[in-house]
Structure 1
């Protein structure tokens, strides 16, 4: 028995927010003071570092659970399964459903329950729950689905990563330009075909690192201090990722029994182009080998950082030949790897 991804689906919102759309923003420093540089300079420097030229925002009437539902429908269709046969629905997110122009997160009921409701699944033994694991949430959801199936507690799971980060960003913070909305979903199940999940690695670093990503007040001191937004310690996160993600990837790859030369694609959480490139460079340095061409597909330039949705969305795009110069063939060894709030890191080695 092998545990494989048998169906994928993604939902990429239609609304495009370009970098030029931020020219009219009032960006401020964390202490509320004015930034000396004009917005055109701020935005140009931002793009040079992150690689982001545009990002996608959800329509005003849609929430995270809606996006996850759309992606789930596609994954179920792609796997050609009866949704009533799904044993678990695991939904990774960070903030629940945050309605447009709202300052409150709605987590009751869980997003997984809402998505099961939208899918009109009647089977009460289809168990639903959410996972809060930062940006690595979808990868961790797949690891949990794998464990359920290995333990004989499930045969088929639906794992979703969905987020509307545009609803929780501080418009006066330059980091607001990083975040985006989207959803990706996968069907994970036991099969008799070759391939599947070969190995995985997970770690949570909380002693000093727990609050590198957190909720904090706006850079605009005149706004209510009771309203909080996503905030991050960018330099600390960058250094943390470089010090830990490559090691997690190596641990998983070594445990899989695969050779570094067999790895065809590495799907890294689309957080920051420069950071992902640095992680890749350090990973291959651990094996004293050169980085192959086209091994790391990237979607951040057009889609921004949609947190838990970045990897499943990217995988779906490559699987369906929708990303230029990237494709997958049967038997390809790939790695999924992520880092995010917590601080959590994880990696999966998977044979396509």
Structure 2
């Protein structure tokens, strides 16, 4: 069996750190209110002129360095983002150029916060089919560019950053490492609970709009259900799971998933306190942090899931 195996992971966070207290000067909010409702303490914002592709390049370079691998060994780049530098061309081709990669192919995937899962599933299929042997899968976002700074219900939630995973084909039948199962779902009926009120048809970037309570309700239920489906499809049970790495949107969503899956919080990777919600970047960022501090180790069963605007959601089960 030809299977996609995680070779390495890397990440990048902008230098500017924004503590909750910074919002107190302009909004009717405070650090205690934000922490109690979201678990967020701080987030990173891109510098003036720093783009999604800039961050994607740095995360990709980190992943390549961690693998001891050259860009010449990479066949493709798939970049998940809702905040590409331009309407077109894709941010992925800009990352390709920034890495000095003149071969292969690169393209973007847009599924908002679930984007990294959709990109990973696409990359996995390409490797399984033999279309590519090594792919950089990147999540990168500058959500600070979409914020309405007068809306305290949304602007305190999001941050910027990028994470990159290098996956490669393995045909060793004695190894059970790699992406074991994935589940993807979407339902356009729920567009109005999480969207941006701009776009090409309106000739404006627009701002993010969200019905927080509705998103929370759907998130816990849908992420838990697809996680159970994927775990079963991999021939495993929740007792086999070493780590859950959910989309880092809100501490209460993570706690809700932990309860529904009956997996204790000490086996749930949480970085939302330091990163905020970085949309498609949140999963690879959280994985990179957990791999860097040696929590996630080779052979561990890792379950990761995300939900975003669309609604679109999904889960992947990986033996690291």
- TM-score normalised by L of structure 2: 0.93
Tell me how far apart the structure 1 counterparts of residues 157 and 254 of structure 2 sit (CA, whole Å): 14
2:49 to 55, 61, 72: 61
Alignment of structure 1 residues 54-203 onto 2, 5 Å: 54-97=42-85, 106-123=86-103, 126-174=104-152, 175-191=154-170, 192=172, 193-203=175-185
Contact 1:136–1:344, Cα closer than 8 Å, also in 2: yes
Tell me how far apart the structure 2 counterparts of residues 90 and 55 of structure 1 sit (CA, whole Å): 25
Computing the radius of gyration from Cα coordinates, the structure with the larger value is: 1
State the partner residue of 2:20: 19
State the partner residue of 2:296: 328
Contact 1:269–1:338, Cα closer than 8 Å, also in 2: yes
Contact 1:262–1:332, Cα closer than 8 Å, also in 2: no
- TM-score normalised by L of structure 1: 0.85
Q: Within the alignment, does 1:303 sit opposite 2:283 as a pair?
A: no
The superposition leaves residues 314-350 of structure 1 with CA deviations (integer Å, 9 ceiling, x where unpaired) of 11111111xxxx6123321110110111101100011
Q: Within the alignment, does 1:343 sit opposite 2:278 as a pair?
A: no
User: How far apart are 1:82 and its partner, in Å?
Assistant: 2.6
User: How far apart are 1:226 and its partner, in Å?
Assistant: 6.0
State the partner residue of 2:4: 3
Q: Within the alignment, does 1:264 sit opposite 2:242 as a pair?
A: yes
Contact 2:20–2:34, Cα closer than 8 Å, also in 1: no
Q: Cα RMSD between the aligned structures? A: 1.6
User: How far apart are 1:113 and its partner, in Å?
Assistant: 0.5
Contact 1:10–1:185, Cα closer than 8 Å, also in 2: yes
**Closer/same/farther in 2, CA of residues 304 and 156 from structure 1, 3 Å limit:** same
Structure 1: unaligned runs, 5 residues or longer:
28-37, 98-105, 218-224, 285-290
Secondary structure at 1:257 match in 2: coil
The superposition leaves residues 153-184 of structure 1 with CA deviations (integer Å, 9 ceiling, x where unpaired) of 11111110000111110000011000100000
Aligned residues: 311
Tell me how far apart the structure 2 counterparts of residues 68 and 167 of structure 1 sit (CA, whole Å): 16
**Closer/same/farther in 2, CA of residues 171 and 90 from structure 1, 3 Å limit:** same
